[in-house]
Homo-oligomer: A and B are copies of this chain.
Amino acid sequence: MKKQMAPDTEPLWSLRAVSYQYSAEGERVLTDRQRQDLMRIGMRVRLPARMMVYREDSPALWVFAITDGAVKCYRDLPSGKRVVGAFLFARDLFGLAENGQYLNCAQTLTVTTMYRLPIGDLAALLKHDADMQFKFLMKVTHELREAQRRAILISRRDAAGRLAMFISQMEARECPSGHAHVVALPMTRSDIAGFLSLSLESVSRAAAELEQRRLVRFENLHRARIIDPEAFARLVAAV
């Protein structure tokens, strides 16, 4: 799906965000100049699958911007439960910190390419380039909206409904390049369970239920196909 471009300009990336205002997609893309500035302060890193990017409570030195691949952010609770805070894909930022420490662990799901931006340099750059900073502000605002959507997702009681909403959200964030109604799920069932606040058995049963109801087919563990879009959409909307 990559466009043809010279090798040295290949690792360009942008930010995925919907504006708070009407806009002609203008806020979604960084200018070439801004990308170059970010590439200058950042370092391109390519990590294999299941690699830790950072750990909770470790010093927060970088913010990461994904160009390709998938990452999960999670926390392990004292009880042993693992809460997945977010799944992140191309054009997403991660590395949320507080008082200089990361708040969660980040781990790649697949082979992932990202830009590693030193936090201090990034802050200086943003303070200097108000326009780019505005795009980052839009991006974080976008993440906040996603977090609220997730709160609505979690408010559902039925496991099948939660899973359906999750698949729907994954479909929505796919690039339009992907085939319609085929959703990639690079994470494990256990990860999904941690994200949906369900036991992994419940996720498994919910998946079975969606198949029995002929709404979704799981072509394999990491790919779902929505085979009855109308009924599926009804279930998703029946919050």
Chain B, Cβ-Cβ closest to A152: B83
Q: Is the CB–CB distance between B130 and A19 below 8 Å?
A: no
Q: Is the CB–CB distance between B97 and A21 below 8 Å?
A: yes
Give the segment of A41-49, A72-80, A215-223 that binds chain B.
Answer: A72-80
Q: Does A18 lie at the interface of the complex (its beta carbon under 8 Å from any beta carbon of B)?
A: yes
Residues of B within 8 Å of A140, CB to CB, are 137, 140-141, 144
Task: A98 to B138: give the CA distance in the assembly, Å.
Answer: 10
Q: Is the CB–CB distance between B22 and A99 below 8 Å?
A: yes
Task: A152 to B104: give the CA distance in the assembly, Å.
Answer: 11
Q: Is the CB–CB distance between A155 and B197 below 8 Å?
A: yes
Chain B, Cβ-Cβ closest to A239: B77
Residues of B within 8 Å of A177, CB to CB, are none
Among B103, B120, B130, contact of A133 (Cβ-Cβ < 8 Å): B130
Q: Is the CB–CB distance between B96 and A20 below 8 Å?
A: yes
Q: Does A33 lie at the interface of the complex (its beta carbon under 8 Å from any beta carbon of B)?
A: no
Task: A20 to B78: give the CA distance in the assembly, Å.
Answer: 24
Starting from the known contacts A19-B98, A20-B96, A130-B133, 7 additional A-B residue pairs (CB-CB under 8 Å) come to: A18-B99, A21-B60, A85-B151, A127-B130, A129-B130, A147-B147, A154-B154
